[in-house]
Every structure is written in C-alpha cells, then in structure tokens.
Homo-oligomer: A and B are copies of this chain.
Amino acid sequence: MANSKYEYVKSFEQSDALLPHTWIVIRVDGRGFTRFAQVHGFQKPNDEQALHLMNECATAVLEDIPDICFGYGVSDEYRSAAAAVAMSFVLRKNSTLFQRRASKLVSIVVSLFSATYVMKWGRYFPGTEMQYAPSFDGRAVCYPSDTILRDYLSWRQVDCHVNNQYNTCYWSLVHSGCSPAEAQNVIKGTLADFKNELLHTRFGINYNDLPAIFRKGSLVFKRKDENIVKVENGVPIKRQKTMVVVSHEDLIKDSFWKENPSILGSAN
C-alpha cells in the first residue's frame, strides 16, 4: 500500500504516561484574561457572573469525565496582571483513563472547558456579545500522597484568600479615587490585619462578610443525594442520584474531607 513508506513516522510519538497510583492535578488557566476581562467589562476585583460561568464549565468537566473527582477554582487576578480563571481538576489516584497520558488528559479537559465557556457564555452574560474566542492553557502534575494533594489544594485556597484580600483593598482604593500607583503604595507589604482594618475603617467593609465565593473560591465535586422520584399511593419513592455540586467552604481543615469521604476515598 502506498502509505507504507510513510508509516515509519508513527515511531516518533513518545510516551507521556504519568506515574501510576498518584493523584493527577490538571490545572487550567485563562490565557491573556486580563484583556479578555477588560474587553467584556468584568467587574473588579471579582466578577461573580464570570465565576459562575467558570463553575459551570468545571461542572461540565466533572459530568463528562467520571474519573475526575474534584475541582477547585478561583478568580486568579493578582495585582491586575491576572489569569482571572484558574481551575484545578483532580483525577483519581487509581485512574487509568487514556493510560494516564498527560497530553490526552490535559487537552480533553481544556477542550471541554473552553467549548463550554463559549457555549454557556450567553447564560451568564446575556446581552454581551463575545468579542473573540477565549483560550486556556493546561498542564498536569502528579502528587504521590493524599497529604500532598491536600497541601496543594490548601496552597491554592490560601492563595485565593491572599489575592482576594489584596485585590479588595486595591480596587476599593481605586474606585474611591486613588491612582493605581497610589493604591499599590498604600497596601504594598502590609499584613492581613492592616488590610482588614483599612477595609473596615475606610470603606465600611467587613472582610468576612464578603461573599464566600470570593474569599474561599469554588469547590466542585460529586455528592450522592436522595431524591423523591415519584409518589406511589402516597408513598414517596426515593432514588439515590449522584450530582455535581458547587460550594465555597474551607478545604484546608479536615472537616470538609471528613464530611465528604468519597472524594478522595475509594467509595463512590
């Protein structure tokens, strides 16, 4: 067959299978989102609609790929040079999906995320036409133990808090008339207490009263719920159903993981 003389080109494909029995985190980041946020008029420091859209995309990923058991996302805007979307997806430790090939896993997650972002745009930004296609990049990292995986997620949530506190101060100052440089000067190098105090005294904002979605980011995971599917002769018939849910809790403390043992556990 004529093609056989070219068949040898197949041999150039190299394996990128990731180490078995490790947690794989697929990290998706907005590419050039500072401009995208600008062009589409996202609110500063946090655009709640953009966050809900991000979570809708994450939900689509969890619904499509059963081996992905958890997602954690933030509006990763730091000092105005920002990704604005940063989502981490966790693939089960024992998953053998696509033979754990890094490029397959990363590309499919990023593809689903990107396509859903465009498809659902109108639901969250009705009346705002998308000016150009957004894009995201991805990468995969292995974490060999539950402890290290949780440390990774904790690191992300601490980061979310630190960035959000900074940005809330920064944009409050800018919205109140400071120049960007002045705003930066006020908060540069200050501690958390100072920032909370600044928000309170100058802007009447109690940081802890801000929406949890800003302060804690978004946790996306599956939960088994009992639903009443019909009522027969007055008796409700229930069925267990697994649903993807979004919450904005603390994931650093043990309590979240104890209440949801199936996420990292072998159950589910």
Q: Which residues of A contact B (CB under 8 A)?
A: 1-3, 5-9, 11-17, 19-22, 28, 31, 60, 64, 98, 101-104, 106-108, 110-119, 130, 133-145, 148, 151-152, 154-155, 158-159, 162
- Enumerate chain B residues within 8 angstroms of A103, measured Cβ to Cβ: 102-103, 106, 137-140
Q: Give the copy number.
A: 4
Besides A6-B151, A144-B145, 14 more A-B contacts (Cβ < 8 Å) are A1-B162, A3-B159, A3-B162, A5-B151, A12-B19, A12-B142, A15-B15, A19-B19, A101-B139, A103-B140, A107-B110, A111-B113, A111-B138, A115-B115
Judge whether A102 and B22 touch: CB under 8 Å.
no
What's the Cα separation between A98 and B152 when bound, in Å? 24
Judge whether B130 and A108 touch: CB under 8 Å.
no
- Enumerate chain B residues within 8 angstroms of A115, measured Cβ to Cβ: 114-115, 117-118, 133-135
What's the Cα separation between A117 and B116 when bound, in Å? 11
Judge whether B119 and A107 touch: CB under 8 Å.
no
- Enumerate chain B residues within 8 angstroms of A138, measured Cβ to Cβ: 103-104, 107, 111
Known A-B contacts A15-B17, A108-B31, A162-B3; A152 and B9 likewise in contact (beta carbons under 8 Å): yes
CB distance from A27 to the nearest CB of B (A): 9
Instruction: Determine which of B9, B102, B145 lies in contact with A16 in the assembled complex, contact meaning CB atoms within 8 Å.
Output: B102
CB distance from A98 to the nearest CB of B (A): 8
- Enumerate chain B residues within 8 angstroms of A130, measured Cβ to Cβ: 119
Judge whether A11 and B20 touch: CB under 8 Å.
yes
Judge whether B137 and A104 touch: CB under 8 Å.
yes
CB distance from A159 to the nearest CB of B (A): 6
- Enumerate chain B residues within 8 angstroms of A148, measured Cβ to Cβ: 9, 12, 21
CB distance from A70 to the nearest CB of B (A): 15
Judge whether B112 and A133 touch: CB under 8 Å.
yes
